[in-house]
């Protein structure tokens, strides 16, 4: 790499050497950064967070409230949500629901939320799932009754921790 150097009678030789060295160091650092991909369209840190976000919601989640009357367990696989409701004597399988994923911004690919909608025949249910700072899963559930039963539409918030309920035959 050639660096243009002009010498003036008024220029201090030490400053001139320092300037040439600084330019060479900056040029080397920029070349190394380009070679390592630091200035790529999607920085490595963003790629890692996108990958972490994509799998961070996946898994088996148990409701932290053992006395819940709502969802006792949620199994998330990619963009599929499989809730299990509080039924007696065992949890009832509510089926697999396809979910839409939402990123943190328009130019991001990290998955921050899943939204699953289901029509049960007597109600329309929407579940929004997101990770909390402490690693727990937050589930916001909105139920709209369509059967003209007179029941009030309602919303509920549940929190889940990673785990799996014991098998109950």
Encode the chain in three state secondary structure: CCCCCCCCCCCCHHHHHHHHHHHHHHHHHHHHHHHHCCCCCCCHHHHHHHHHHHHHCCEEEEECCCCCCCEEEEEEECCEEEEEECCCCCCEECCCEEEEEECCCCCCCCCCEEEEEEECCCEEEEEEEEECCCCCEEEEEEEEECCCCCCCCEEEEEEEEECCCCCCC
pLDDT of 114 higher than 60:
yes
* CATH classification for the domain delimited by 53-162, as one of 2.40.128, 1.10.1200, 1.10.357, 3.30.70: 2.40.128
Cβ contact 121:138 at 8 Å: no
Tell me: pLDDT of 123 over 80. Answer: yes
> pLDDT digit string (tens) for 99-111?
999 988 898 888 8
Domain boundaries, the chain: 11-40, 53-162
Its pTM stands at 0.63
According to the model, what pLDDT value does residue 111 have?
82
Listed residue (94, 56, 63) closest to 77, CA to CA: 56
* Contact partners, residue 100, CB within 8 Å, separation at least 6: 79, 114, 115, 116
Predicted confidence at residue 47, as pLDDT, reads 43
Is 45's pLDDT higher than 50? no
């Amino acid at each position: 790499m050639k660096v243009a150097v002009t010498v003036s009678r008024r220029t201090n030789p030490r400053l001139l050497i320092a300037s040439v060295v600084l330019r060479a160091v900056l040029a080397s650092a920029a070349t190394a950064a380009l070679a390592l991909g630091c200035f790529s369209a999607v920085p490595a840190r963003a790629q890692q967070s996108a990958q972490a976000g994509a799998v961070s919601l996946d898994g088996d989640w148990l409701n932290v409230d053992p006395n819940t009357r709502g969802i006792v367990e949620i199994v998330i696989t990619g963009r599929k949500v499989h809730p299990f409701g509080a039924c007696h004597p065992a949890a009832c399988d509510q089926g697999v629901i396809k979910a839409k994923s939402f990123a943190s911004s328009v130019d991001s690919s990290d998955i921050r939320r899943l939204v699953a909608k289901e029509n049960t025949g007597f109600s329309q249910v929407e579940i929004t799932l997101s990770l909390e700072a402490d690693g727990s899963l937050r589930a916001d559930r909105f139920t709209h009754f369509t059967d003209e039963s007179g029941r009030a539409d309602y919303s509920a918030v549940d929190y889940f921790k990673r785990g799996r309920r014991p098998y109950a035959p």
